[in-house]
Structure 1
Amino acid sequence: PTEIQALTIPEVLKSEGQHILCAAETGSGKTLAYLLPIINKIKVQEMKVPLLNRPRAIVLLPSRELVEQVLSVSKHMCHFAKFRPIAITSHKNRQFVRKTLLMPTDLVVATPAGLLDYIKNKHISLSETRYLVIDEADTMFCKGFDKDVTSIIKQIKASNVTQNNRPYQIIVVTATLPKTVNELLSKELPFMKRITSYSLHKSLPNLSHNFIDLKIFNYNKYEATIQTLKAHSESASTMIFCNKKKTAEHLEKYLYSKNFPAIGLYGDIDDRTTKLESFRNQESHAKILVCTDIASRGVDTTFVNHVILFDFPTTIVDFLHRVGRTARAGKRGKATYFVTKKDR
């Protein structure tokens, strides 16, 4: 197990009513740190009570890509411990999801808005839910999800109170721990046990940093990008982060014009999951992903060798998530930063 897994799994297993904060750097194995003990608990409970068509565990994530990713990990675990996971997002086929929820369901992986919609329309009940995971908490509590997440926490609390104060467990998972998240956790879950890795908020040990003063390129970021890519191995997978959709869109077209096939991931494009899968495909001709922060959180990028910050992010949280797309799971990676006059 990784450091955070060794610290978190025993704590989740030994207590039913202890809420837990799991905070560790990107790529440290946090998903398995909460999924493994929760599934174990579900299987133990299964010996005592019959299967129900109500979820016993819920995992909340900020985007449908992350929902599908965690669902995929859950399905791999089904080969070793039989349980039934299902994904709920606002983009999922509603008829299919409603039909699936009529069958025994152990784990629901969902976006907050998607879950609340199904609760509101009485397609899903929280009466048997004893485990709630709030993953990517630095996003969930800071970027417009906080009201929905707080509503779900209150409903989980109320549901278990009506069941003779049945113990329940909330696990908050994050790669950064900004002040806003700390304040909200102190308010909503004041007695939670905090587990943090040694490397939290520290530079990844296998990550090298390369700062390029754009003065040598007459402050032309596009030319600097081309030269940086040329200096890198053709087989390397590179993510290039921009602050704005318009910039990312323009950069993607520019790279194509210079014979650098790239995949764009930004804004509200409908085929985001397909684009990510294409980028992950090691046989793909496009080894470059031009993106905004939509691709900076939670996405499995263990194969990425190089991250370029075309634009500097506006917060330290976004910075840590961007550079955390490489040097994951013990592998080596490189981060390149373009330094303009205003970045000095």
Structure 2
Amino acid sequence: MLFRELGLSTSFLCETVEQLGYTEPTPIQSKAIPQVLSGKDLLAAAQTGTGKTAAFSLPIIDQMLIDPIAQDSEKKVRCLVLVPTRELAQQVYEAMVSFSKDTGLRCVAVYGGTSIKAQRDALKLGCDIVIATPGRLLDHHHCGHISLKHIEHFVLDEADRMLDMGFKPDIQRILRNLNSQRQTLLFSATFTPQIKALAYKLLNQPAEVEVAGKNSTAATVKEMLYPVDKQKKTALLAYLIGSRNWQQVLVFTKTKEGSDQLVKELKLDGIKAVSINGDKSQGARTKALADFKSGQVRALIATDVAARGLDIPQLDQVVNFDMPFKAEDYVHRIGRTGRAGRDGLAVSLMSHDQEYLLAPIERLLDRRIPQEWLAGFEPSPISESDNPGSPRPRRGRNRDKQKMKAKLKIHSGRGKKKS
């Protein structure tokens, strides 16, 4: 199937898509584009890397080009795309600009960490499409820099992450200012009960499309988990990067401080690394990502919030330096690789203190993640008192036999005090 067969009315847009290297639509694009073109509200579930940005951008731009309102002399904001993070806002903005090239449609991105004055000036010049994070959008609306009453197309992208990050009150405030006669599209990685509840309030008899099983990972991603002592994690990561000649690896840590510390430690091992986290300015985050994409650094260390929405072409490796607190974040993290049909590798480094995080992930996936010990980095044995309440790692029958022998010794009376 070709994009021309999905119902896009403007041949110019089809030609633009082909020039950008899009040949055949992905499953989410094949299912979503006809629904959006029909004018229906849409509830769509798709993992990252499946082409969902084009799935809503192309049909919206197509409708705006053929609508006579597009010829109005006054530039009114007709499309609003709401996203959870700055990086995703920039990514969607760049895609929208590429798709609408030479059409006369104007796009503006507004998000925190950059000059609000520059964004105000861009909005005052007039635009058709705004891509925004909730907080910064509300700032502009409160100051009168933008009107939302002419919105015809409202997209809530990565809605699951929006809820995780506590944006529900902001979303509700934004909704109160939108035109009720609009088309609303909600995209989420999963259909959780919370997403269903939000969709019920937002959408009007929506079409539903889903291109992957709930909480599934891409078939193109190979997963491996290495149990390792906490103090050996950095050495193991450096060993993997060096011995396997990884030129680009995205590494997830649980804290901002941890991401910065890991950068310092990797540099001591001769590995160029940079970090992105919530404490970094937008300029620093943009530069770090640019240096990583250009190959000037080999490792990009990120927290979950900072990494959400990152689009890094041809990223072959992702490493969970720290296991994620939320099982769903495991799916989002490893979804950074294995995109657009490419093979990818997702490696997790699990120390004793994070073993308890594995079970929820495997329950979510409904399968076990392959494990192996790496020579020279085998984890040290631990007792129950070392990590109370944590599940024991899967270490085979020999360890079970050792435990049984220990119990037999206790029951046989060895080690008891003499009376």
- TM-score above 0.5: yes
- Please say which of residues 198-207 and 249-258 is displaced more in the overlay: 198-207
Distance in 1 of aligned mates of 2:332 and 2:138: 27
Distance in 2 of aligned mates of 1:95 and 1:218: 46
Distance in 2 of aligned mates of 1:253 and 1:44: 54
Is the Cα contact below 8 Å between 2:64 and 2:70 reproduced in 1? no
Answering whether residue 94 of structure 2 is matched by residue 72 of structure 1, we say yes
Alignment match, 2:44: 22
Alignment match, 2:146: 124
The AA in structure 2 aligned to 1:3 is P
Distance in 2 of aligned mates of 1:113 and 1:65: 15
Match of 1:336 among 336, 347, 355: 347
Please give the secondary structure, in 1, of the residue aligned with 2:345: strand
Task: Give 1:74 deviation, angstroms.
Answer: 1.4
Task: Give 1:126 deviation, angstroms.
Answer: 1.6
Answering whether residue 234 of structure 2 is matched by residue 222 of structure 1, we say yes
- Deviation track 1:38-87 (CA, whole Å, cap 9, x = no partner) reads 11111111367514322000011112222111111111123253311011
Is the Cα contact below 8 Å between 2:87 and 2:306 reproduced in 1? no
Count of matched residue pairs: 329
Answering whether residue 32 of structure 2 is matched by residue 8 of structure 1, we say yes
- Please say which of residues 296-305 and 315-324 is displaced more in the overlay: 296-305
Residues 80 and 7 (structure 1), Cα distance of their counterparts in 2 relative to 1, 3 Å cut: farther
Alignment match, 1:43: 65
The AA in structure 2 aligned to 1:223 is A
The AA in structure 2 aligned to 1:205 is A
Residues 219 and 275 (structure 1), Cα distance of their counterparts in 2 relative to 1, 3 Å cut: closer
Alignment match, 1:163: none
Alignment of 1:215-294 (within 5 A): 220-234=232-246, 236-270=247-281, 271-282=284-295, 284=296, 286-294=297-305
Match of 1:198 among 203, 208, 212: 212
Listed as ranges, the gaps of 5+ residues in structure 2 are 1-24, 356-392, 394-419
Residues 136 and 191 (structure 1), Cα distance of their counterparts in 2 relative to 1, 3 Å cut: same
Output the TM-score relative to the length of structure 2. Answer: 0.74
Alignment match, 1:147: 169
The AA in structure 2 aligned to 1:265 is I
The AA in structure 2 aligned to 1:181 is I
Match of 1:110 among 123, 127, 132: 132
Match of 2:313 among 293, 302, 318: 302
Is the Cα contact below 8 Å between 2:85 and 2:308 reproduced in 1? no
Is the Cα contact below 8 Å between 1:53 and 1:101 reproduced in 2? no
Bigger relative contact order (CA 8 A; separation at least 6): 1
Task: Give 1:302 deviation, angstroms.
Answer: 2.6
Task: Give 1:12 deviation, angstroms.
Answer: 0.3
Answering whether residue 100 of structure 2 is matched by residue 87 of structure 1, we say no
Is the Cα contact below 8 Å between 1:66 and 1:299 reproduced in 2? yes
Distance in 1 of aligned mates of 2:341 and 2:249: 18
What is the CA RMSD across the aligned residues, in angstroms?
1.9
Alignment match, 1:314: 325
Answering whether residue 199 of structure 2 is matched by residue 182 of structure 1, we say no
Task: Give 1:101 deviation, angstroms.
Answer: 2.5
Distance in 2 of aligned mates of 1:185 and 1:290: 34
Alignment match, 1:208: 222
Distance in 2 of aligned mates of 1:139 and 1:218: 29
Is the Cα contact below 8 Å between 1:142 and 1:181 reproduced in 2? no
Task: Give 1:316 deviation, angstroms.
Answer: 1.8
Task: Give 1:252 deviation, angstroms.
Answer: 0.9
The AA in structure 2 aligned to 1:263 is V
Alignment match, 1:327: 338
Is the Cα contact below 8 Å between 1:265 and 1:294 reproduced in 2? no
Distance in 2 of aligned mates of 1:77 and 1:333: 27
Distance in 2 of aligned mates of 1:175 and 1:218: 31
The share of aligned pairs that are identical, in percent, is 29
Distance in 1 of aligned mates of 2:167 and 2:161: 8
Please give the secondary structure, in 2, of the residue aligned with 1:220: helix
